[in-house]
A = this chain, B = another copy of it.
Amino acid sequence: MSDLFDSDFQLIRLLEAILFSSAEPVAESVLQERVGAVPVRPLLAQLENLYRHRGINLVASGGRWAFRTAADLGDRLRTEIEVTAKLSRAAVETLAIIAYHQPVTRAEIEAIRGVATSKGTLDILMEAGWVMPGRRRETPGRPLTWVTTSDFLDHFGLGSLRDLPGVDDLRAAGLLDRSAPMPRIPGLSVEGEG
């Protein structure tokens, strides 16, 4: 009896792990194959019972089994922040340029990227809380500059802006072509460059 119990216990553990790690609900026939000769249905019934009052439940539908969060918790799990959207390449590049070249004007960002920056790009970064307007540049037209925020540092786990990897570090890490210089603002002399 003890052996049988141990074995059942181990099989239930296995079913639990399979159902947990599977991306899709798992057909009962597939689960049966995994546990061998022992009938799988009573094992699943035990597992279902085990989770009946928990925050997650084992549910079957159409002959396939899956764990789902308990229905009554739905309200408390409901999203407070809308679904994460993937940032466009333009936005990521713009953020990187602001991080490295701040304070930097929009015209300068465009000069580095070689393409015009749409108004929406900076808005997205500002909404994300990563960039904000800095001082106006004391040049004709007094253009606004952009800088990163402390949330930016928090999000990327940086202690300070000085902890951003430099050109040698980027090169050594394989992130910058060996021959390529650090991106620079065309027409602006950069210290340390001939």
Q: Could you list which residues of chain A lie within 8 angstroms of chain B, going by C-beta atoms?
A: 12-18, 20-22, 34, 53-56, 67, 69-70, 73, 76-77, 80-81, 106, 117, 119-123, 126, 132-136, 142, 144, 149, 157-160, 162-166, 169, 171-175, 178
Contacts and interface: CB of A to CB of B under 8 A. Distances in A.
Given A17-B69, A69-B21, A135-B163, A123 B175 contact: yes
Given A16-B55, A17-B69, A70-B17, A144 B123 contact: no
25 contacts: A12-B55, A13-B53, A13-B54, A16-B55, A17-B56, A17-B69, A18-B77, A20-B55, A21-B69, A106-B169, A122-B174, A123-B174, A123-B175, A132-B157, A133-B158, A133-B163, A133-B164, A133-B169, A134-B159, A134-B163, A135-B159, A136-B163, A142-B162, A144-B165, A144-B166
Given A14-B55, A55-B20, A172 B69 contact: no
Contacts of A135: 159-160, 163
Nearest to A123: B174
A81 B24 CA distance: 12
Secondary structure of the A side of the interface?
mixed
A142 B159 CA distance: 14
B55 A172 contact: no
B169 A144 contact: yes
A76 B174 contact: no
A55 B15 contact: yes
A122 B20 CA distance: 33
Contact of A163 (B13, B34, B144, B159): B144
